[in-house]
Amino acid sequence: MKKINLFHTCYWLLACLLITGCDQDGPDYVDELDVVYTNYDDSFNFDEQLTYAVPDSIIEVDDIDFDDELISPDFIDPIYGDVILDNIVANMDNRGWQQVDKDADPDVIILAAAMQTTNLYYYYDWGYWGWWYPGFYPDWGWWYPGYYPPVVSAYRSGTLVLQMTYPAGIGVNDNIPVVWTSAINGLLEGSTSSINDRLKNTVDQAFIQSPYLSK
Amino acid sequence: MKKLIAIIALCIATYSAKAQELQMESITSFNYSIGIPVGNLSDFISKVSPLGFSIDYKRAITPNIYVGGEFGMNNFYEERSYQTYTEGTASISGIQTRYNTSIPITITADYIYTANNQFKPYFGIGLGTVYNYREIDLGLFNSTINTWFFTIKPEAGVIFNLNSFTGIKLGARYFQTFNTKDIDAYSYFAIDVGFVLMHF
């Protein structure tokens, strides 16, 4: 008859207990890691604004140093960019806004920027928009009236930043008021159609959780 | 051969009877533990957790009173459905996953009824600390808080003897922690099923 070794019995009991006690679950799918953040200037009257303009490309933010120069930035692939821009337009139109050309004195302008970094601030250089923004002046900068954007730090992820600016409200310090912002973050994993589905859903969500944008 | 078996059986029976008459010097138990959050912890994570264990060792200081120590872990975990959380003008949407790991380390004093050879009910109390790790994940972002609580732990249960030296334990412990500057006091029940080694 085999002799039972007490030390080994205790050892295996302990190992089983430790494994049982430490086994935890986590997210199973990439889209479960998608996060949509929005914030806005609550003193701004969105109801009084009607028209908006949106560029036809989404800039890709990297580490360009503009130094008051007009440099054309990189743009993200239209296969993704068009999905984002189409959804922005569809959501704005559905909420009673009217799209106009950037030179038709729009009430607000929506800028979209994508970033793929490991650690970044919400801030990126205003110079990225010199190629498109009406009346662009290199000394301008961002201004978030009454609220502060968060620090975004991410790993192997992409962040899409949407900024709704108010061109008529340029401040005395040459800052462009950003009256609404959204940061959409998620893992850069999956097929093109999968990523586009997630982009569509998350852009929609940014508008769903911003009811003050509806007319 | 039959005689030999009879002699061996008689020896075992005599030895077991002798062991039961002897003072049980110490008890060691290895327990699988199910955590049931209550109070503040239930507000944070309402799900019952099957992820836990504890190990304890007790020595007799009188025929029925045993003192010793206990170490354990209860992992609470819950995934919230996709929700939008709003604070002031900011809103954030995502799937939130919450974790709370409690690691109690206590000194214990138990009263064990040893009159019955088959069932040994017991009750006791423990005092000590709980190391607590709390984490909230939202997408790729997370926030964590580590803190140490003072804890008091009443306990009751029963040991079923398998033979003179081993047994199965069914027990319930209640951990009550006290406020810290980081996290408010919380409490939970731990329902234990354990394997017991008795030393004479």
| CB of A203 closer than 8 Å to CB of A88 | yes
Q: Does residue B11 register a pLDDT over 60?
A: no
pLDDT for position A173: 74
Q: Report the share of chain A in percent with pLDDT over 90.
A: 44
Domain annotation covers residue A21 = no
| CB of B120 closer than 8 Å to CB of B112 | yes
Domain annotation covers residue A126 = yes
Residue by residue, DSSP assigns B35-64 as EEEEHHHHHH--S-B-EEEEEEEEEESSSS
Residue type, B20: Q
Residues of A with CB below 8 A from B85's CB?
none
Least confident of A28-32, A34-38, A87-91: A28-32
Q: Does residue B14 register a pLDDT over 50?
A: no
CA distance, residue B4 to nearest chain A CA (Å): 16
- Structural domain boundaries, residue A70: 26-213
Domain annotation covers residue A15 = no
Phi/psi region, residue A73 (left: phi>0; alpha: psi -120 to 50; beta: rest), is beta
Identity of the residue in B52, B88, B137 whose CB atom sits nearest the CB atom of A21: B52
CA distance, residue B121 to nearest chain A CA (Å): 23
Residues of B with CB below 8 A from A205's CB?
93
Domain annotation covers residue A65 = yes
Q: What does residue A110 show for φ and ψ, rounded to 5 degrees?
A: -110, 120
Give the contacts of B46 (CB within 8 A, at least 6 positions apart): B37, B78
CA distance, residue A79 to nearest chain B CA (Å): 24
Domain annotation covers residue A67 = yes
pLDDT for position A157: 74
How far is CA A48 from each of CA A45, A152, A214, B45, rounded to the nearest angstrom?
6, 31, 11, 44
Q: What is the pTM of this model?
A: 0.70
| CB of A90 closer than 8 Å to CB of A203 | no
Number of C-beta neighbours around residue B154 at 10 A? 13
How far is CA B3 from each of CA A1, B15, B17, rounded to the nearest angstrom?
20, 18, 21
Closest residue of chain A to B139, computed from CA coordinates:
A33
Taking CB atoms and an 8 Å limit, are A39 and B30 in contact across chains?
no
Q: What does residue B118 show for φ and ψ, rounded to 5 degrees?
A: -95, -40
Q: Structural domain boundaries of chain B?
A: 25-199
Domain annotation covers residue A66 = yes
H-helix or E-strand containing A181? strand A175-187
Tokens 């732990």 sit at which residue? B153
Domain annotation covers residue A8 = no
Tokens 């120069």 sit at which residue? A69
Identity of the residue in A32, A146, A150 whose CB atom sits nearest the CB atom of B95: A32
- What is the ipTM score, two decimals? 0.77
Q: What is the mean pLDDT of residues B162-169?
A: 90
Taking CB atoms and an 8 Å limit, are B195 and A147 in contact across chains?
no
Query: In this structure, what token pair is assigned to residue A4?
Result: 């039972």
Q: Looking at residue A124, what DSSP letter applies? A: -
Distance CA B11, CA B37 (A): 49
| CB of B89 closer than 8 Å to CB of A40 | yes
What's the maximum distance between 2 C-alpha atoms anywhere in chain B?
88
- In degrees, rounded to 5, the angle at the alpha carbon of residue A167 between the alpha carbons of residues A66 and A42 is 110
The yes/no answer on whether domain B25-199 falls in CATH 3.40.50.2300 is no
- Work out how many domains chain A is built from and give that number: 1
Q: Identify which of A202, A177, A201, A195 has the alpha carbon closest to the alpha carbon of residue A76.
A: A195
What pLDDT digit, counting tens, does each position of A63-90 carry? Answer: 777 765 677 888 999 999 999 999 999 9
- In terms of average pLDDT, the best of A174-183, B29-38, B107-116 is B29-38
Closest residue of chain B to A181, computed from CA coordinates:
B90
Start-to-end CA distance of chain A, whole Å, equals: 84
Identity of the residue in B33, B50, B140 whose CB atom sits nearest the CB atom of A157: B140
Q: Does residue A1 register a pLDDT over 80?
A: no
Least confident of A2-6, A167-171, B33-37, B91-95: A2-6
